[in-house]
Amino acid sequence: MSIWEDLHYHRAAHAERPIADLFQSPARASQFSIAADDLLFDYSKTSVDAHARDLLVRLAEASGLSSRREAMFAGAKINETEGRAVLHTALRNLGGSVFVDGADVMGPVREVHARMVQFSRDIRSGRIAGAGGKYTDVVNIGIGGSDLGPAMATIALQPYADGPKTHFVSNVDGAHVHDVLKGLNPATTLVIVASKTFTTIETMTNAEAAKSWMAQALDTPGRQFAAVSTSAERTAAFGIDPSRVFGFEDWVGGRYSVWGPIGLSLMLAIGPEGFGGFLDGGATMDAHFQSAPLAENMPVMLALIGIWNHQICGYPTRAVLPYEQRLSRLPAYLQQLEMESNGKRVAMDGTVLQHASGPVVWGEPGTNGQHAFYQLIHQGTGVVPCEFLLGREGHEPELAHQHRLLAANCLAQSEALMLGRGIETARALMIRKGFEGDELERQAHHRVFPGNRPSTTLLYPRLTPFTLGQIIALYEHRVFTEGVILGINSFDQWGVELGKELAVALEPVLTGEATAEGKDGSTRNLIDYLRSR
């Protein structure tokens, strides 16, 4: 049998075994946890036992993970459908050399980073000022990876934000740019337009709206803009001074780009030193990923638990549940990271996948989620593997009692998911409440929790720039590992393109400049409604 078949066979043979039974071994928790640089990843509350883990590690070895990992860090063109290297790791490890097509790419990387540092210092100090003096606000206009990464990180690192107040605009819905700009002063606002090609339709539409807003109040709106783009020609035509344009190479994918110029808004918010700590955290996780044995490798085991839950056990979704309010955007960030990377239907050679690709990733921060969707997680008919994240301490010592309550809730949820509550316990509860006969049985069954629902927990000391860098790099390498095992390219996103192409063709239909000829009946009907007055 193949390793995949062995895994399915092992799962089938032990499908009814309660996870709690695995804790008959007193060493279960320590043997099914990994510590790395003050992080602790506990996967003991899953149905993976020692044999399943051995099979999963063999699966990773058979996939060629180690050689593929080495190729990525070395600058090989592992994004084979686009003929590109994958070097977001180079953005956070600024020493040494990495060669692509025979050229060392680290010189230009360091040069752009140094320009970002100087620009950030000048903006934060007021040496570079807007029409109304020192910049008080920064608006980052982007979408996808040009928005989710810096937006997530800026919220996460608010305790370190001592620079201009940072805002984010992404949706082409005019309400977004309108509502962000309406409370700001154009003369003291810096707008960063983040689009590699400077052609992304949503971003450029919002950029034009911001420029018009600036022009209504200022004679020289161009000095209020900066750009993250590789198109010197288009940024110049927009009116942005070349000294305010920061480019990056095509070997940095959008959803992996927060470590470089796309992170400019984050650097402006927390300062170059804080941003440096963020890069150091990512580089530390890179070193662990490259050196730790597979069974002791945190990104690898996080990926293998995901493979077990989704491809082997058949659980279709995964909930990311940070018990940290400032990580409120982490589930959305990881949703893009995983679903855009591994939401594929064909293998690298173009053949249809023989296994499910990536799962649906979703989530919200605790404890809010407990009062929203945990009902389904605990008592619904489907199983949702959960990934909890929790810091040992918060940033508000005066509210330490609230952090203890937060931590207690997190640990209680993972325990309840595993243990559940049986019918006998439920009956005893209802007897104490005075129920009898058929009504006792009815009420008791409503209070049964199936349990045996898997979860992992990632603990960290405190949410600092360094820690956030570790966490983001951990999940990046998790996605990479899953992609290698599934035999897919995690670094292209052709599924994003079709809808964008059709949208360009549909806009003139909505304005009446073109007809709906050739469109299906449903689309024509919807167009008729939107065009009616």
Total number of residues shown for the chain: 533
The whole-angstrom separation of Cα 238 and Cα 212 is: 12
List, in sequence order, every beta strand (DSSP E) within 87-237: 99-100, 103-104, 137-141, 165-169, 189-194, 225-228
Peptide bond into 511 cis (omega under 30): no
- In terms of Cβ atoms closer than 10 Å to its own Cβ (0-12, 13-18, 19+), residue 34 is buried
Pair type for strands 245-246 and 99-100: unpaired
The whole-angstrom separation of Cα 169 and Cα 143 is: 8
Which residues 6+ apart lie within 8 Å of 283 measured at CB? Answer: 89, 92, 93, 469, 473
16 assigned to active site? no
**How many C-beta neighbours within 10 Å does residue 288 have?**
22
Contact between residue 93 and residue 286 where contact means Cβ atoms under 8 Å apart? yes
The whole-angstrom separation of Cα 192 and Cα 166 is: 10
Find the catalytic residue in 51, 178, 445, 500.
Answer: 500
For residues 307, 309, 311, 315, the Cα torsion angle rounded to the nearest 10 degrees is: -150
519 assigned to active site? no
Rg of the Cα trace of the chain? 25
Helix, coil or strand: residue 354? coil
500 assigned to active site? yes
Which residues 6+ apart lie within 8 Å of 132 measured at CB? Answer: 185, 186, 187, 188
Find the catalytic residue in 202, 338, 340, 387.
Answer: 340
Which residues 6+ apart lie within 8 Å of 103 measured at CB? Answer: none
- In terms of Cβ atoms closer than 10 Å to its own Cβ (0-12, 13-18, 19+), residue 354 is exposed
The whole-angstrom separation of Cα 353 and Cα 347 is: 6
Query: Which residue in 466, 327, 325 sits closest to 403, CA to CA?
Result: 325
As beta bridge partners, residue 79 has: 84
Query: Which residue in 344, 278, 314 sits closest to 479, CA to CA?
Result: 344
H/E stretch holding 390: strand 386-391
Pair type for strands 245-246 and 225-228: parallel
List, in sequence order, every beta strand (DSSP E) within 180-243: 189-194, 225-228
Crossing angle of helices 465-486/264-291, nearest 10°?
60
Find the catalytic residue in 273, 371, 445, 507.
Answer: 371
Query: How many CA atoms lie within 13 Å of 196's alpha carbon, on the beta-carbon side?
Result: 14
Q: Which residues are catalytic?
A: 340, 371, 500
